[in-house]
Structure 1
Amino acid sequence: MLLQPLWTFVLGHASLLRSPFFPVIFSLSIYLSFCLPFLLLDLLSTRWALVRRYKLQPQSSISWASIRSCLALTLYNHLVFIFPLTVMHWYLRPIHLPKEAPPLPHLLAQVLVCLLLFDFQSFIWHLLHHKVPWLYRNFHKVHHTYTSPSALTAEYSGIWETLSLGFFATVNTVLLGCHPLTELAFFLVNIWLSVEDHCGYDLPWATHRLVPLGLYGGARHHDLHHLTFKCNYAPYFTHWDWLAGTLRTQHD
């Protein structure tokens, strides 16, 4: 099978995969690695017009204070709340690591289904938190601190939002009975898309340019949400906002 050499390599680090520390190490290291290129673009955009031309809100700029604030909240949520939960999960549900890798078409299909499910769940969750003032005020308002998002604002959220979205992502892989390699692939893709959604740049190689027919919104789609608060509630795809009449595609 095409994925067997990769899975054999991963199995060589089985002790790490089974560690209660792995989910937090994986999540933080992948997230920060994906954020880093966009942080470099943010620093370059203040000096280079070539970079600034791709910014969705070119008048905005990132500050060291906002970087520190975003990093502090992300680390706090992971260490104080997420890590104890992963320890409990590690204790109650030991990880099973099969010897065989999944077929590549099966992995790709399940990752896509997980993304579609997560997109639907997040759309409903997000819409409710904007339409119900109590939910917005107590849980979601933190994420809208910045009307001009940057990569690190992807996880600038209160713990309720962080845990609930993490629950959606995790439960989907369990419901579909995903192979551990499929789970890792889904979490990688999900983290990347979340970071790209908040990056604040409409780059020539952005994901939404690779998906035809406007089916995927991307950074431009989500930037409009942070700018207006009244549209584009689905995190990735556009069909739910289109059906709900909340889709917007152009900046004023």
Structure 2
Amino acid sequence: MEFLLEMGQDWARHFQRDLFRYLLATTTVSLLVGVVFRRWMDRRRIQKRRAGWKDIRREVSFSMLTMGVFATIGLITGVLYDWGWLQLYRDWGEYPLWWNIVSLPVVILVHDAYFYWTHRTMHHPKLFRHFHRLHHLSRTPTPWAAYSFSVGEAALMAIFSPLITILLPLHVLVWLSFIFVMIFRNAMLHAGCEFHPRGWVDGPLDLLTTTTHHDLHHQKFQGNYGFYFTFWDRLMGTEFKNYKEAFRRAAGGNETDDESGAGAKVAT
């Protein structure tokens, strides 16, 4: 009985941490879009249609379910750490300085590949309904959709954390930094307004995804699967052909309609 109580308390701590990160990221992005820079952001809306309170309630409700799954995976991850399976370390001196510097970019690159291929796989007709359909109920997403997943998708997203710490040695602060980068990036991609400057897609930073890039995915589904970077979509021919045009319209302060993805073709 005492063991179960301790497990329950540990699960609750994991849930509270995930909830804190989720609320911090989604509230921050929502305030930037809807309050602090509202007039500027309203001119940069990607779709004419706006999500309603019903949409936001659904996104928050399923995000709570997702965090329950995350807490369960976190509990398992803690057990694996106790068993010595994870390569998390706390002393910066355990590994060379160069690895402490490059490990965060390496994890982000690996996660981007993991996300692209798992995301694209979930769009297979035999898997979509069971894994990813729920997330796409957010046709016009808001930052609160960041964790709006089914149980299967939530588990698939959560297991990356123990997998990467089994495969690579990571300082605890590097791992935590990755978690915060991931949730803030997620909230921004679902913001519905374009954050990036107008010339973004015409320079070297075009290798990074934008809110428009992911918003088009929510509109048309079959394309723009990347999370941090555009190169997997471009390499595999899954980037929407009208992406840069849609981005320039949004970043230029002109509204696009909710069919801005209409006619977009994806190379197969």
TM-score, normalised to structure 2's length? 0.74
Alignment of 1:95-174 (within 5 A): 98-100=90-92, 106-130=99-123, 132-174=124-166
User: Does residue 199 in structure 1 map to residue 188 in structure 2?
Assistant: no
The residue number in structure 2 matching 1:216 is 208
Distance 1:70 1:185, change over 3 A: same
Distance 1:100 1:213 in 2: 31
Deviates more, 1:154-163 or 1:85-94: 85-94
Higher relative contact order (CA 8 A, sep 6+): 2
Distance 1:215 1:204, change over 3 A: closer
User: Does residue 65 in structure 1 map to residue 58 in structure 2?
Assistant: no
The residue number in structure 2 matching 1:56 is 46
Deviates more, 1:94-103 or 1:83-92: 94-103
Distance 1:203 1:85 in 2: 32
Contact 2:138–2:218 (CA under 8 A) maintained in structure 1: yes
Instruction: Letter of the 1:121 partner, please give it.
Output: Y
Distance 1:128 1:172 in 2: 20
Please identify runs of 4+ aligned residues in structure 1 that moved more than 4 A: 19-22, 41-45, 99-105
Distance 1:91 1:204 in 2: 41
SS state at 1:36 partner: helix
Contact 2:65–2:151 (CA under 8 A) maintained in structure 1: no
Count of aligned pairs between the two proteins? 228
Distance 1:89 1:230, change over 3 A: closer
Identical-pair percentage: 26
Deviation by residue 1:114-137 (Cα, 9 ceiling, x = unmatched): 11111111111121222x211012
Distance 2:77 2:161 in 1: 15
Instruction: Letter of the 1:143 partner, please give it.
Output: H
Distance 1:212 1:84, change over 3 A: same
Distance 1:50 1:194, change over 3 A: closer
Distance 2:35 2:50 in 1: 10
Contact 1:114–1:173 (CA under 8 A) maintained in structure 2: no
